[in-house]
Structure 1
Amino acid sequence: MTVSRRFLICSIVSLAMTLTTGAASQAESFSNAVDQVQPKVVKLFGAGGLKNLANYGTGVLVSPDGHIATVWNHLLDSDVVTVVLHDGRRFFGKVVGTDSKVDLAIIKIEAEDLPFFNISDTAEVGPGALILAFSNVFKVATGDEPVSVMQGVVSAKTKLAARRGRYRASYDGDVYLVDAVTNNPGAAGGVLTTADGKLLGMLGRELKGTNNTWLNYAIPFSVLEKSINDIVAGRFSRTDDLLAVADETESSGFQSIDFGFLLVPDVVARTPAYVDSVIEETEAAKLGLQPDDLIVFANGELVHSIQTLQGVFQRLLPGDDLQLIVRRNNELVTFTFEVPRKQ
């Protein structure tokens, strides 16, 4: 055998050994990432079941004391949400804060010493980066079963241009677009990580892009970090800010009629905030509010009942904005009113 042939054979063997070692190392990195991330991801069960709305979803632990970040949506319409940890333990969680501008809700359960993500320690990646997506997509897990894991790559980091039905999505900031099919029923609120388990973003709701194709995306935790920290610390609430001002002034006393619509009669303690009628040639009519729309959020606050909504109205100040999110059939639709200046 000539020297050149021997050298070629040795080079091929060396390359094969390098590729095998690299593949084994990557597989081990993935395995370690899965073991590290899955205990920090929880399964959520709440409102839904009507008009094909799934009654399950995903959240991620962001504090050792039971604070869970997820996407705000119809799942949170009920008083409490059932939270199932990775080991099968079940808790009742309550929504303690929301930020509709970034599609965020924080749920709290009474538990301690839980594994959690440090959201101040996040990664930033570009196109081509390997990623893992963790979520309870299609309700695969209901107890101590692990949530599903998908592997893919980042296609782009760009502004979100999407819609829900005929309406634009409320969030239009930065997102990671990925080439894996990550955003399906139950996935919203899941987590996107690097191949070695570093935090990247939160999986969003099911949305279609401007070209009418379903999007697979995640909102970077660098976008969510401030709102999460403020809600967990108890210092984030738009309504709290208004209340602080209202304490120093006379109550505004606004009602739904001031915005051009009437609610159904408030006959029981927790009458849902359904729109009964819309007055012609008012702001509500111009914006497209309709009878039978169910108001589920008002200025980021979950609306449990007409009484809850009236409490939000009482804290409004002239010249401010009132954002209402309504459930219409199987869609969530956003309306922004200008609070009138009373004569």
Structure 2
Amino acid sequence: MKSTLKKLLPFAVVGVISGATAVGTLQYFGHTSNNGDQGYFTSASNVSFAGMNTSAVGDDFVKAAKTTVPAVVTIKNYQNRASSRASEQDLFDFFFGDPFGGRGQQRQKQQMPDNMPSGMGSGVIISPDGYIISNNHVVAGANKLEVVLSNKKSYIATLVGTDPNTDISLLKIEEKGLPYLNFANSDNIEVGQWVLAVGNPLGLNSTVTAGIVSAKGRGIGILGSQGKASNPIESFIQTDAAINPGNSGGALVNSNGDLIGINSAIQSTTGYYQGYGFAVPSNLARKIVEDIKKFGIVQRGFLGVQSLDLSDEQQVASYNFQKKANIKTGSGVYITGFGENSGAEDAGLKIGDVITKIDTMPVTDFADLSIAIGSKRPGDKVTVTYIRNGKENTSTVTLKDQKGGTSTRTKADLSVSEKIGADFEPLSDSFKTNYGLNSGVIAKNVGEGSEMAKIGIVDNYIIIEVNGKPVNSQKDVEKILDKYQGNVQVKFVDEYGRIYTKGFKMP
């Protein structure tokens, strides 16, 4: 019994602190055995600690909770069951792993009724007229999004835009005078400061948990691991405030109730909270939202470099092995090459230079570089500090988009492929002959949440016709849909040879 109390002591401390903001008794998971079995419940209400000023901490939490809870909403994601390939379990596994030990596959086969959501997450109201920020993975694949406020009032939301590269989405409901949160400057947060996570985990609405900032600028490789993000930006705020499935898209706030992050993911071997939660910093989230509202799309500036994270020992060792090089681990980002139309190369940077700072922001690893550049737009100028031959140098780099442009773009400037979210490759004549097709192109790089994805098309599906016209190349698709407005009909073949015709409204 004595050893059990020792194991419970750290958890009981957190329970007492969190209990200062809750009504009633707080119960929580106290222990997980080594064999993975769920542990028992315990109550912190009968434990006291001398010398702990819980009232001062609790007062701060109460103020922040009262500010935050009314501005955090539940988001219900409804999908077309017949065509959707992004089920609740897909979204759950992507960001939380499969806690069911393979039983998740069985759960997928139990098809939910059409009036039940495929998944649920959280969102944060950021303006009194109904703009709501959430995660991209919370809204992915939806044909209807329902927003439920903390007062239980419900709305059907419009999806304004998404960005898989940061896992941010922007929604809008038609209402006025709503409670909302202000963005705080996430650059000012400090490791060790108190934070609250507010969301709707495991169906428990308006849940508040407390913790501290455990780390800043954390890259965990989650956004690019599934191929959903073409240029992922990961510089997460790490916190030990308890976050579980359903918290995604919810608020991470400081003790004043100011929004410092959007909760996105946990790192766990079970799919449930094990002490590591990650949030998109508010400065990056705010930039994404501003882009979507102003331009309809996210504006991304690029240095145009291929790089090696010197702080990553495994990455450096692998590079040295492959290239027979002798690069040392350390701090900074080593330039290994340049892309086409590279602004960095134009500014005089060379292979072998080590980037150590962007403007006034130190660059110790790739996550630092990612957020420093990811918060900029094409045409922005940045001062790059780098080491060459042991000497520090600076150069001014004009950032460009992926096509080499230096000006912002709107949805009207996008190509057809960018608008509908897919590229198309021609089928060979032999393939058409073997499968009895007179036309067809192969869908490639289908974007998560894109118009093509929403009607059930994924990579390697064959598109036969668009608006009743046969297509045999990407140019055919672009010619049919260029400057087209209205409903689009797509005839396609899935991996089982089944033919469907589905439609969407041209964005």
**Is TM > 0.5 for Structure 1 vs Structure 2?**
yes
Tell whether the 8 Å contact from 2:134 to 2:169 is kept in structure 1 after alignment. Answer: yes
Residue matched to 2:66? 35
Other structure's SS at 1:188 match: coil
Q: Which protein, 1 or 2, shows the higher relative CO under an 8 Å CA cutoff with sep ≥ 6?
A: 1
Give the residue type in structure 2 aligned to 1:314. Answer: E
Tell whether the 8 Å contact from 1:58 to 1:186 is kept in structure 2 after alignment. Answer: yes
CA distance in 2, matches of 1:203, 1:80: 22
Residue matched to 2:449? 297
Other structure's SS at 1:45 match: strand
Tell whether the 8 Å contact from 1:162 to 1:169 is kept in structure 2 after alignment. Answer: no
Other structure's SS at 1:228 match: helix
Tell whether the 8 Å contact from 1:164 to 1:207 is kept in structure 2 after alignment. Answer: no
What aligned pairs does 1:143-158 form with structure 2 within 5 A after superposition? 147-158=206-217
CA distance in 1, matches of 2:168, 2:414: 25
Q: 1:304 to 1:37 in 2, by over 3 A?
A: same
**What's the CA shift for 1:196?**
2.7
CA distance in 2, matches of 1:175, 1:24: 30
**What's the CA shift for 1:37?**
0.6
**What's the CA shift for 1:258?**
4.4
Other structure's SS at 1:138 match: helix
Q: Does structure 1 residue 59 correspond to structure 2 residue 209? A: no
**What's the CA shift for 1:208?**
6.1
**TM-score when scaled to structure 1?**
0.62
* Counterpart selection for 2:237 from 169, 176, 183: 176
Tell whether the 8 Å contact from 2:184 to 2:260 is kept in structure 1 after alignment. Answer: no
Tell whether the 8 Å contact from 2:197 to 2:251 is kept in structure 1 after alignment. Answer: yes
Residue matched to 2:145? 81
* Counterpart selection for 1:72 from 136, 142, 145: 136
**What's the CA shift for 1:101?**
1.8
CA distance in 2, matches of 1:230, 1:173: 18
Other structure's SS at 1:243 match: helix
Residue matched to 2:412? 243
**What's the CA shift for 1:237?**
5.5
**What's the CA shift for 1:56?**
0.7
Structure 1 spans left out of the alignment, 5+ residues: 1-18, 142-146, 248-253, 261-275, 318-343
1:134-164 deviation line (CA, Å, top 9, x unaligned): 01111112xxxxx111111111102312337
Residue matched to 2:10? none
Q: 1:233 to 1:119 in 2, by over 3 A?
A: farther
CA distance in 1, matches of 2:152, 2:75: 12
Residue matched to 1:45? 76
Tell whether the 8 Å contact from 1:177 to 1:218 is kept in structure 2 after alignment. Answer: yes
What aligned pairs does 1:1-343 form with structure 2 within 5 A after superposition? 22-47=53-78, 48-50=87-89, 53=92, 55-73=119-137, 75-119=139-183, 124-141=188-205, 147-163=206-222, 167=226, 170=229, 171-182=232-243, 184-206=244-266, 215-233=276-294, 235-236=296-297, 241=410, 243-244=412-413, 256-258=424-426, 296-298=448-450, 303-305=453-455, 314=478
Percent of aligned pairs sharing the same letter: 23
Other structure's SS at 2:292 match: helix
Give the residue type in structure 2 aligned to 1:31. Answer: V
Q: 1:232 to 1:134 in 2, by over 3 A?
A: same
CA distance in 2, matches of 1:277, 1:207: 39
Q: Across the two proteins, how many residue pairs are aligned to each other?
A: 255
Q: 1:39 to 1:277 in 2, by over 3 A?
A: same
**What's the CA shift for 1:244?**
2.7
CA distance in 2, matches of 1:97, 1:86: 24
1:200-223 deviation line (CA, Å, top 9, x unaligned): 1000134569xxx88411111111
Tell whether the 8 Å contact from 2:160 to 2:171 is kept in structure 1 after alignment. Answer: yes
**What's the CA shift for 1:73?**
1.3
Other structure's SS at 1:44 match: strand
Give the residue type in structure 1 aligned to 2:449. Answer: F
Other structure's SS at 1:114 match: coil
CA distance in 2, matches of 1:97, 1:245: 14
CA distance in 1, matches of 2:411, 2:258: 37
1:290-334 deviation line (CA, Å, top 9, x unaligned): xxxx86434xx6843279x979963999xxxxxxxxxxxxxxxxx
**What's the CA shift for 1:278?**
6.6
**TM-score when scaled to structure 2?**
0.43
**What's the CA shift for 1:127?**
1.3
**What's the CA shift for 1:55?**
1.0
Residue matched to 2:40? none
Tell whether the 8 Å contact from 1:180 to 1:216 is kept in structure 2 after alignment. Answer: yes
**What's the CA shift for 1:39?**
0.6
CA distance in 2, matches of 1:193, 1:226: 18
Tell whether the 8 Å contact from 1:79 to 1:94 is kept in structure 2 after alignment. Answer: no
Q: RMSD of the alignment, in Å? A: 4.1
CA distance in 1, matches of 2:55, 2:252: 23
CA distance in 1, matches of 2:412, 2:233: 29
